[in-house]
Amino acid sequence: MSSKENSKEVQTDGVAVASTLSDILNTLKEVNGAMSSLISTALHINQNVIQLREEIENPLRNNSKCIFIKEEEFGQLQPRRFDGGSLSTTSVQAVIEQADQLYGKGEVEKVYELLSKQKNSDDPELLWRQARAARDLFQIRPPLANDKKKLIYEARDYAKAAVAKNPNGFETHKWYAICLNEIGEYEGFQTKIENAFDIQKHFQKALELNAKDPACMQLLGEWSYFLAEMPWAQKQIAAMMYENPPTSTYEEALKLFQKVEEVSPNMFPKNMLFMAKTFLKMKNKEKAIEWFLKVKKFSAKTDEDKKALQEAIDVLRTLGIK
């Protein structure tokens, strides 16, 4: 083959390669465009999912709901805003009395069902009871129950609404703090520390409004115990989150537990358990055993009582006491 023919063949091959490369580049551009479109669509779907999840987990974010009423004179459906009809004072009191009776009997699910029918009410006395009912149901749900997370955030929203409606209500602050604390227990350490100051603030406000409530004293005592017991690594995390993270001591926790016993002696096995645990942390083994034995002798009525009783038995066993 002559050199001229070879040259022509090389030119032909070069054109073919160039054409192929051009086709590949065009294909890559189309793929890149398709990928960009897919990413945009995925981001849009993700945003919708996040919004839907927030609406499910925060049912009280917008109390009002839009209903359609047929206007015959216009011959069409027209949207109207409905803010949830308020109950009369008499009706509210009747619901509260019924709810309190069921609560006293330990009918957790019935209390929740009753108060759920009043979910559009803005009465603070109903709202904090709705928070309590949702939180109680959350506590008895199995760990993997589908509605467990929804229930505790629902409780939080009810309690927050109650505080907004009645900022001077003892129960409203108490149950808001309880719900925030429960969310921390459920979500983990970081969430608990993120809510730390709000939890402490609302427990303290509740005690300002009712200085002799034993349940609130005990819960604030437990919170102080948690802060005192916090491991070094967790304290470092808290220090990164706050310039001045919340702190407490076993001595502060013990004072609160002792106040509970002064107001309601030998009434709350969980408080007696924390008394014993605090004495143990403070190296007072004799007093710790004394209080563990008191818990052991307690006649447990609720699941919380039974857990306290079992923990006391387990600790006494480690201390060589049957």
Average pLDDT over residues 26-48: 53
Tokens 């609406």 sit at which residue? 55
pLDDT of residue 68: 34
Q: Is the pLDDT reported for residue 117 higher than 50? A: yes
Q: Is the pLDDT reported for residue 42 higher than 70? A: no
Q: How wide is the angle at C-alpha 152 spanned by C-alphas 57 and 211, nearest 5°?
A: 135
Q: Tell me the C-alpha to C-alpha distance, in Å, between residue 53 and each of 45, 56, 149, 150.
A: 12, 5, 11, 10
Q: Is the pLDDT reported for residue 12 higher than 90? A: no
Average pLDDT over residues 35-50: 51
pLDDT of residue 277: 97
Distance CA 177, CA 29 (A): 56
Average pLDDT over residues 130-144: 93
Q: Which 8-state DSSP code applies to residue 3?
A: H
In a domain, 50, yes or no: no
Sequential DSSP letters for 83-115 = --PPPPHHHHHHHHHHHHHHHHTT-HHHHHHHH
Total domains in the chain come to: 2
Q: Is the pLDDT reported for residue 202 higher than 70? A: yes
- Report the mean per-residue pLDDT for the chain: 80
HSE (CB half, 13 Å, CA atoms) of 171? Answer: 12
In a domain, 274, yes or no: yes
**Structural domain boundaries enclosing 304:** 212-322
Reported pTM: 0.68
pLDDT of residue 51: 53
Give the pair of three-digit tokens for residue 229. 């017991």
Let me know if 295 is exposed, middle or buried by CB neighbors in 10 A (0-12, 13-18, 19+): buried
Distance CA 217, CA 195 (A): 19
Q: What is the pLDDT of residues 72-97, one digit of tens each?
A: 333 333 333 323 345 566 688 999 99
In a domain, 227, yes or no: yes
Residues 134 and 197 in one domain: yes
CB-based contact 291:257 (threshold 8 Å): no
Q: Band of the pLDDT at 70, cuts 50, 70, 90?
A: very low
Residues 203 and 302 in one domain: no
In a domain, 10, yes or no: no
Residues 242 and 316 in one domain: yes
Residues 180 and 204 in one domain: yes
Q: Is the pLDDT reported for residue 228 higher than 80? A: yes
pLDDT of residue 20: 61
pLDDT of residue 65: 37
In a domain, 252, yes or no: yes
Residues 228 and 317 in one domain: yes
70 alpha carbon, distance to own chain's centre? 40
Q: Tell me the C-alpha to C-alpha distance, in Å, between residue 112 and each of 24, 78, 197.
A: 64, 34, 29
CB-based contact 288:276 (threshold 8 Å): yes
Average pLDDT over residues 292-315: 91
Count of beta carbons in the 10 Å neighbourhood of residue 285: 11
Residues 204 and 220 in one domain: no
In a domain, 286, yes or no: yes
Q: Does an H or E element contain 76, and which?
A: strand 76-82
Return phi, psi of residue 67, to 5°.
Answer: -120, 160
CATH number of the domain within which 298 lies: 1.25.40.10
Q: Band of the pLDDT at 119, cuts 50, 70, 90?
A: confident
